[in-house]
Amino acid sequence: MTTADRSSKRSCPSSVGRLDFDKERTGMNSPHSIPETPDILTTTVGSYPLPEWLIAAPSDAAIADATRVVFDIQRQAGIDLPTDGEMYRFDINHPETNGMIEYFVRPMGGTRQDFGRSEIREFSEKQTMGFRAKPAAVVEEALNEGTLDLLSDCTRAAAVAGGPFKFTLTSPYMLARTLLDHHYGDFEGLLMGVADVLADQVRNLPCACLQIDEANIPGNPDDGPLAARAINRVLDAVSDETARGVHFCFGNYGGQVIQSGTWSALVGFLNGLHADHLVLELAHRPKDDLEALKEVSGNIRLGVGVVDIKVNHIETADEVAARIDSIEKAVGPGRVRYIHPDCGFWMLKRSIADRKIESLAAGRDRFLGLDPT
């Protein structure tokens, strides 16, 4: 099946039937139904700041309650396709990545999490991820699911979502680069081993959209073909009723960019993905990055970042509308399907994140003329 055939077979977000308000209000909606209108939908990328009460008294019930709160905050602000805030990844020992790495690799069978000085040195000599001093795990046997269980976490989110939502997971490429391999003997074998585990995990998840997050390939474009193979193996396992998105950013650690690169170097890679839409960092990027997006295949809808999560400044509705306008002028009318923040919110204060979410929706309405004022 070609990429074009695969794209036509899937239902893109604009072709899915719109739920009426009464069904959304009463919770009778299907988790697979993304709104058809308006032409540009609002969404968030993934993470939300951990509520202080969850940190103080973590429990399964508290995680479910926090997830419900995060969904409600977004829906009340006007977000069409919210995320669960990634509360299920909560790990007080790894606040710097919000569970982006350890949550996925440590439960996998075939890994070991205890290692000493020599293996830490071995990892540092082989890898190029300067922000990690230690591996997330050592791979000693063929990878398998172990105790990783995305279905349970997605089902818990679906139970409190109140409507269609997005579920996220970290890219196999980024995960593989955090591992110290003592089994496969080459990076490609390790990478496809991770991809196979994730592919089995994403089958038939009860969500409207499955999003893969990749924050490392933008700085390593030469690995594009290999990374695309692994990401596509996961995307191809997703149900045809579920939208497929891939999020790319240049990293965010304490508000700092950790990957250098340009979108122009990644166009061929982006066009090779079996995705319905992309979720791209743009608000914190130079304006000339927009030119490259003209070359993204028309089969792939664009999600564009119009809210900068690396600063505390609260964008106004006019600023968001102006960013949408400049992007549409650059890439062409009708190409933008989603607007969103550049990345997740976990490093911001809740008061900042909530106001940015409100501005995102207000700016979209201002741009489309839906603002009653």
The two three-digit tokens of residue 176, written as one number: 């593989």
Note the pLDDT of residue 139.
97
Domains, the chain, with CATH or none: 3-99+148-171+194-368 (3.20.20.210)
Which contacts of 362-365 are long-range, i.e. CB under 8 A and separated by 24 or more positions?
362/78, 362/317, 362/320, 363/306, 363/315, 363/316, 363/317, 363/318, 363/319, 363/320, 363/321, 363/323, 363/324, 363/339, 364/38, 364/40, 364/42, 364/78, 364/320, 364/321, 364/324, 364/339, 365/78, 365/317
Question: Tens digit of pLDDT per residue, the chain (373 long)?
Answer: 433 343 333 333 333 332 332 333 333 345 568 999 999 999 999 999 999 999 899 899 999 999 999 999 999 999 999 999 999 887 766 655 667 899 999 999 999 999 999 999 999 887 666 667 889 999 999 999 999 999 999 999 999 999 999 999 999 999 999 999 999 999 999 999 999 999 999 999 999 999 999 988 877 888 999 999 999 999 999 999 999 999 988 655 554 545 555 767 888 999 999 999 999 988 876 777 788 888 899 899 999 999 999 899 999 999 999 999 999 999 998 999 999 999 999 889 999 999 999 999 999 999 999 977 6
User: Would the pTM count as exceeding 0.95?
Assistant: no
